Amino acid sequence: MKIAIAGATGRMGKMLIEAVLNSTDAQLVGALEHSSCSQLGEDAGAFLGKKTGVLISSDVAQVLNNSEFLIDFTRPEGTMSHLAVAEKMGTKTIIGTTGLSPDQMNSLKNASAKLAIVFAPNMSVGVNVTFKLLEIAAKMLNQGYDIEIIEAHHKHKVDAPSGTALKMGEVIADALGEKLDDVAVYAREGHTGYAREGHTGERKEGSIGFATIRGGDIVGDHTVLFAGDGERIEISHKSSSRQSYAQGSLRAARFLQNQSNGLFDMQDVLGLRK
C-alpha cells in the first residue's frame, strides 16, 4: 500500500510515519505539511534517524500523485483542502480529524460518491469495540439510568468535547431511539443575574451529560457512566499511546483496498456493523 501522511511533523503524523515504516505491507511515499512549516524539504524519517527518501512537502497534488492512500489527522480546514485534491486524483482517504462542521461533513459525504473514505473520530480498535459495548449497554439500561460521558485529553487539544466522546453520545442516543442534539447537555452552570449561585435545577430525565478535562499529556481517556439507583456501571477506554490510532489507520487502509467508493467508519472496517 502506497501511503502519504498529512501533518507529518505533528505528534500523530510521526506515529503514523513510524507505523507505516514498520509495516510489511505498506510503503511511505509522501509526507504533507503546511506551507509555513520549518521542516519542509527534510526527510520524513529524520525524527527516527532514518533516511526514507520521502521529503516533507506542501504540494498536495505532487504528493498524492504517487499515493494510493492518504491518512489525515490534521485540522478541519487542512483536511478539506487535502480531500478536494484526493477526490480529483482518486486517492483513497483515511480521516481521523475531529471537529468537522456539518457543512464539512456534507462535503465528505459528497466526495464519497466517487472516492472511498474511512472517517472515524477515533481509529483505535479498542475504542470502536467500546462503541459496540455502549450500544448493547444502552439498549439494556434504557430505563432508570442516567448517562454521563467523561473525557480527558492533553492541554493542546483544541476541540471539546472530543470527537470520540461525541461519537459515544451518538451511539448511545441512537440505541435509545433519540438524536444526540435533542438530549445532550454540554455544560452546567447556575447563576442569577451577576450572582453565581450554582443552582442548575434537577437533572432532566433522558439527558446525556458531557464532562471535559484538559491537562498535561493525557493521550485520551473516555468513561461512560450509567448511574442507577443503588448501582452504577462504567465502561472505560484509556489510551496510553497514539500507536493504537496508527495501527487502526493501517487496518482502515487495508479495508479500503477492496472499496471503490463510499463513506465508511471503523465499525465497517472491523465488521461490527449490524
Q: What confidence category does residue 257 fall into, taking pLDDT thresholds of 50, 70 and 90?
A: very high
Residue 51 covered by a domain:
yes
In this predicted structure, the answer to whether residue 192 has a pLDDT above a threshold of 70 is no
Cα–Cα distance for residue pair 271/274, rounded to 1 Å: 8
Q: Which of 79-83, 107-111, 201-205, 258-262 has the lowest mean pLDDT?
A: 201-205
Residue at 202 is within a domain? yes
pLDDT of residue 18: 96
| Co-location of 11 and 67 in the same domain | yes
Mean of pLDDT over the chain: 93
CATH number at residue 68: 3.40.50.720
pLDDT at 98 (0 to 100): 85
| pLDDT for residue 191 | 61
CA angle 171, 267, 80 (to 5 degrees): 90
Query: Does 251 map to a domain?
Result: yes
- Whether 229 and 140 map to the same domain: the answer is yes
Q: What is the pLDDT of residues 217-227, one digit of tens each?
A: 998 999 999 99
Range of the structural domain that residue 186 is part of: 125-239
Same domain assignment for residues 131 and 222: yes
**pLDDT of the residue at 201:** 79
On whether the CB atoms of residues 69 and 92 are closer than 8 A, the answer is yes
Whole-model pTM: value is: 0.78
Strand locations in 91-155 (E): 92-95, 116-119, 146-153
pLDDT band (50, 70, 90) for residue 198: low
Asked whether residue 72 falls in the same domain as residue 134, the answer is no
Q: Quick check: is 103 in a domain?
A: yes
pLDDT at position 196, please? 61
Catalytic residues: 153, 157
In the chain the first and final C-alpha atoms are separated, in Å, by 28
Residue 114 pLDDT: 95
* Contact criterion met (CB below 8 Å) for 146 and 227: yes
Clarify whether residues 157 and 90 are in a common domain.
no
Do 39 and 172 share a domain, yes or no? no
Please give the tally of structural domains in the chain.
2
What pLDDT sits at residue 158? 87
32 falls within a domain: yes
Q: 264 and 180 in one domain?
A: no
Q: Are 186 and 229 contained in the same domain?
A: yes
**Any idea what the CATH number is for the domain that residue 170 is in?**
3.30.360.10
178 and 255 share one domain: no
**Are 130 and 79 contained in the same domain?**
no
Distance CA 13, CA 158 (A): 17
pLDDT for the residue 194: 58
Q: Mean pLDDT: which of 22-26, 99-103, 124-128, 242-246 is highest?
A: 22-26
C-alpha distances (whole Å) from 74 to each of 7, 80, 113, 142 are 6, 10, 23, 36
Give residue-wise pLDDT tens across range 93-135.
999 998 899 999 999 999 999 999 999 988 889 999 999 999 9
In a domain, 274, yes or no: no
Share of the chain above pLDDT 70, in %: 96
| Domain co-membership, 23 together with 38 | yes
Note the pLDDT tens digit of each residue in 57-80: 999 999 999 999 999 999 999 999
pLDDT at 140 over 80: yes
Give the three-state DSSP class for 153: strand
Report pLDDT for 165: 94
Q: Report the DSSP beta bridge partners of residue 117.
A: 93, 263
Q: Is residue 150 in some structural domain?
A: yes
154 and 246 both lie in a single domain: no
